[in-house]
Structure 1
Amino acid sequence: MIFIESKRKKMQGLVQKYPEAIILDFTSSGIDEYKQFSPFYPHGDIPVPFCDAFAKSVEGIWQGLKVFEDQDIDTTKFMIEDMKNIKRSVRKNGRVCGHRKGVYGTELLDYQEARKKIYLKTYAWVLDHKLQTLLGKLTQLALQKDLVFLDYETNIEIENLEKPLSHAGLVKRYLEKKTPAITLKKSIPNLLF
């Protein structure tokens, strides 16, 4: 089985809750290869949806295409490699109006549509094209032991717009769809990809 837990929880408590599991940090502040699952990780050459542009990270695309009441898109976010200063805030830029459908598009996508057509599409591309080796390693581990993926966000429901989506939860869904034997529960319907 694969479990999603908050990185903010104490490691001692997680070890007690999952004594036989392998605990892996999927955040950008992780210290091993699994931080490559972070949307901030600069894989490079990631296609920006709805245009002929490329970016270093998923988060760079998500933040770069965000349109605020006082600020349009910011394509400089596409090229950030050090995983710092990618986020754009309402405090600095005003209310979020939506996400632009491509760099030169005129249409603004609402949060739900942007999550599906920009974030999920881009993250799925990274899983399919940049992380297959690590996904294979995770599959082998998950077939032997329980895994706990640490993330700052724990929302795994794509339709739940009240909280940011857990990228670790997306990896869990991807693995369970590709290898149903990982989970002892029935397959999760309507998986990410």
Structure 2
Amino acid sequence: MPRTPVFARCVFVPRYHVENLPAGSVVYDASSYADPPYCPLSPMWVHGGVPVPGAAGVSSDTVEGVWQGLKVIRGKIAPRFFRGPGAKRGGKPSGHLFGRKEIGVVEARRQIYVPTYEWVLENRIDPDLIRGFIDAACAGVVQHFHDVGDNGDPNDPDQPLAHAAVLVRYLNRRCAERG
């Protein structure tokens, strides 16, 4: 009888807690400061052809470009952020533009950021890298992922969302689908 794989969750860990993990933990830096092959997991990484949610036929070079370009600041979005490397946009946003509607940050994370980042994971990241994370988790290896952000709660509008938390949710969902 085939053995059912042991599932170990992937875990988001804030960058300041990396040194407090149990010995033997596998830790991945998913930030733009990471070494290859992990640096392309950053939303700042230029992948090209990233669809902009709510804007049919429009694409961005980066996930960060989508996020920053759709921010509504002083009543305007900034599509110029769709081109080139990911960059932060100054100013206090009133929301994000999704189609013709301005939405709040938590809803924008659900409708814009998470789908865009997951699209990149499925279409621009080396499938062997993703498969390796999933295979390790199914084999019982606990993996910890971090980036420069510390907020793993997409419902916390007061802090930027750490993309490593989105990556972890995606990987855990894929592991669960695998069975």
Question: Which letter does structure 1 place at the counterpart of 2:64?
Answer: E
Which secondary structure state, in structure 2, belongs to the residue aligned with residue 179 of structure 1?
helix
Correspondence 1:179 to 2:170: no
Q: What does residue 25 of structure 2 align with?
A: 21
Q: Structure 1 residue 2 and structure 2 residue 10: aligned?
A: yes
Q: Equivalent of 1:128, from 122, 127, 134?
A: 122
Following superposition, the deviation at residue 60 of structure 1 comes to 0.4
The range that moved more, 24-33 or 137-146, is 137-146
**3-state DSSP class of the match of 2:145?**
strand
Amino acid at match of 1:65: L
3-state SS of the aligned residue for 2:13?
Answer: strand
Match of 2:78 among 71, 74, 79: 74
CA apart distance, 1:6: 2.6
1:45 corresponds to = 49
Maintained 8 Å contact 2:50/2:59: yes
Q: Give runs of aligned pairs for residues 65-104 of structure 1, distance below 5 A.
A: 65-69=70-74, 72-81=76-85, 83=86, 86-90=87-91, 95-102=92-99
User: 1:58 corresponds to which residue?
Assistant: 63
TM-score, normalising length from structure 1? Answer: 0.77
Partner Cα distance (2:97, 2:167) in 1: 26
> Do the aligned residues in 1 keep the contact of 2:51 with 2:58 (CA within 8 Å)?
yes
Return the offset for 1:140: 2.0
**Structure 2 residue ranges without an equivalent (≥5):** 1-8
* 1:32-53: CA deviation from partner (whole Å, max 9, x where unpaired): 2112111111111110112221
Shift of residue 145 of structure 1? 2.3
Equivalents in 2 of 1:110, 1:6: separation in Å?
24
Worse-superposed segment, 135-144 or 118-127: 135-144
Q: Which has the higher contact order (CA 8 A, sep 6+)?
A: 2
Q: How far off its partner does 1:144 sit?
A: 4.7
Matched residue, 1:119: 113
Measured against aligned partners, the alpha-carbon deviations of 1:96-137 in whole angstroms (never above 9, x if no partner) come to 1211224xx3x2112122111111121121122222332111
Matched-pair contact (CA < 8 Å) for 2:134–2:174: no
Q: Distance in 2 between matches of 1:177 and 1:45?
A: 25
State the match for 1:163 in structure 2: 159
Moved over 4 A (4+): none
